[in-house]
Structure 1
Amino acid sequence: MNLANFRELGGLKNKEGRKVKHNRLLRSGEVFQIDDASRTTLKQHELNKIIDLRGKQEITTRPDDELESVSYHWIDIMKEVHDNGSMEDLMDVSDLQLVDSHMKKIYYNLILNEGAQQGYREYFEELLKTETGSVLFHCFAGKDRTGVAAALTLEFLEVPRETIYEDYLKTNSQRKKPNEQFLKEAASRGLSEGQLAGIKVAMEVEKDYLDYAYQLIDENFGGIQGYGKEVLRLSPSDYQLLQELYLD
């Protein structure tokens, strides 16, 4: 199976002991030139809808595969961010502190940029419209834009934060092979050890990044409920519907 960083959120327990329904919420990296094993897995998970959180250039050069009976929805989360921290931007950066601050800037924008806020609002609108089958949401690597989407979704399903962090950090083990391949290719192009170390940082997730996202939510909206109300415009009935749709 070559669908990178794929997992379903089904089975995760919330604070009341209810479980996220199986075959409802899936996350991954890009759905580009996936193999038969990946297609079979998605079929087994009753895939109904794909939400692609990538930018215009990403979907132009590496468009998602068309899958039978699956609807496709494009939401460019970083559309209003000109410096969006793409891997190409980081190729020439060998200062690890600079890469780290670059990654923090991405999370700053994911929480506070108006385009990103609108994008996550649309994402939740799509979740609330999906009554059957599973939704696969993804970006390029399935780690930052997708990681924040997963964290927010699990928050509103009242999954404990400890569990949310566990899911977020799974990216590092699940992207190990694709990352190693990417670094190998980068090394063959003559990048220095410092540049390769910087790319490695950019391809992984850190607890600090999600910490920073929560910090921004707390400082600017008074917590996750304030963010849900002010930014996502979710009503009490929306929360109720979300839990009815995605919790056993």
Structure 2
Amino acid sequence: MIDPATYPGAPILLETLPNLRGLGGWRTSDGRRVRDGVLYRSTDLSRLSGADLDAVAALGIRTVVDLRTQPERALRPDVVVPGAEHVVLDILADDTDATPTDMATILEDPKRAKTLLGDGQAEELLSRAYTQLVALPSARTAYRTFFSDLLALDRGPVLFHCTTGKDRTGWAAATTLLMVGVPEEDVVREYLLTNDQLLPALKPVFDEFAAHGGDPALLRPVLGVREAYLETSMAQARTQYGDLATYFAEGLGVGPDRREALRALLTEC
């Protein structure tokens, strides 16, 4: 395992919980540092077991925030982390399009995958999904609760996740870092780490897809992340609210006073 305090975004290498890393270590524009050991992000916890479960428990996690839909949770229930409360915040509750959360079954059928994801449709799907992370009422409600819970000191340390820990989780991480003053270019860097920390763990998925006649390249826009995806959410926030600060305040309930409280909680000199 790599010590997450060694550098920002270092992976915590657990076989049954890929894409696990802390948000600590990133520098704000005024020279403060995001605290280690307070916030962690990952894929879902459905495969967590054995020594890996012990390792997560050793992080002192007190709250697990599950950003998935009800069907996703039913299909792959989280393993319970000892001593941690499980909180469900369904980002996509108001989304009537099941395609993003039906991805697991889509990947089992290369012909269906080609129909739904080929010819640039995968990029369009992700663009719509990242717009919805800002535009959906359920997304605003869930992220608003996420940040209000972060301000409750008895909630931390917090581990938050969706299914692959890259889209809903990625926006939660990005907005958190932006709120406390981490420069946008570093927020993008943190977001893109998923390509290094998740895709290798998904090699069996790519191999199985290829074995059934599918083109693995078809999956990369869906299973990885791209800077353009994150930019879609930020553009939606700016279009809908005028700027990110107003989105934080009006959309997520984190005005100047609460934002300063979040900075005090999550950063240090």
What band does the TM-score fall into relative to the shorter chain? over 0.9
The residue aligned with 2:38 is: 24
TM-score by structure 2 length? 0.86
**Are residue 111 (structure 1) and residue 131 (structure 2) matched?**
no
Distance in 1 between residues matched to 2:188 and 2:234, nearest whole Å = 11
1:106 and 1:151 map into 2 onto residues whose CA distance is 16
CA gap of 1:116–1:65, structure 2 versus 1, over 3 A, is same
Residue 183 of structure 1 is matched in structure 2 by 206
Shifted more, 127-136 versus 4-13: the winner is 127-136
- 1:116 to partner: Cα distance: 1.0
CA distance in 1, matches of 2:249, 2:64: 25
Unaligned runs of 5+ in 1: none
Residue 147 (structure 1) aligns with: 170
Q: Give 2:54's match in structure 1, choosing from 15, 34, 40.
A: 40
Give me the whole-angstrom Cα distance separating, in 1, the residues matched to 2:248 and 2:213: 43
Residue 226 (structure 2) aligned to one of 195, 206, 222: 206
Q: TM-score, normalised by structure 1?
A: 0.93
Q: Secondary structure at the match of 1:237?
A: helix
4+ residue runs over 6 A deviation: none
Amino acid at match of 1:244: A
Q: Percent identity?
A: 29
Checking the alignment, whether the CA contact within 8 Å between 1:50 and 1:73 is kept in structure 2 is: yes
**Preserved CA contact (<8 Å) 1:154 1:164:** yes
User: What one-letter code is carried by the residue in structure 1 that aligns with 2:81?
Assistant: L
Query: Aligned match of 2:183 in 160, 168, 182?
Result: 160
**How many matched pairs?**
245
RMSD: 1.6
Displacement of 1:132 after TM fit?
A: 6.3
Query: Is 1:102–2:125 an aligned residue pair?
Result: yes
**Cα offset for 1:93?**
3.5
Q: Given the alignment of the two structures, is residue 67 of structure 1 paired with residue 89 of structure 2, yes or no?
A: no
Q: Offset of 1:131 from its aligned partner?
A: 4.2
Map of 1:216 onto structure 2: 236
> 1:186: Cα distance to partner?
2.4
- Counterpart of 2:194, as a letter, is T
State the distance in 2 between where 1:33 and 1:236 align: 39
Gaps of 5+ in 2: 1-13
Q: Distance in 1 between matches of 2:162 and 2:195?
A: 16
Secondary structure of the residue aligned to 2:193 is helix
Deviation string 1:152-205 (CA, Å, 9 cap, x unpaired) is 0001111111110111000001012222111122233x2432xx3222220010
CA–CA separation in structure 2 for the residues paired with 1:192 and 1:160: 39
Report the Cα distance in structure 1 between the residues aligned to 2:28 and 2:217, rounded to whole angstroms.
37
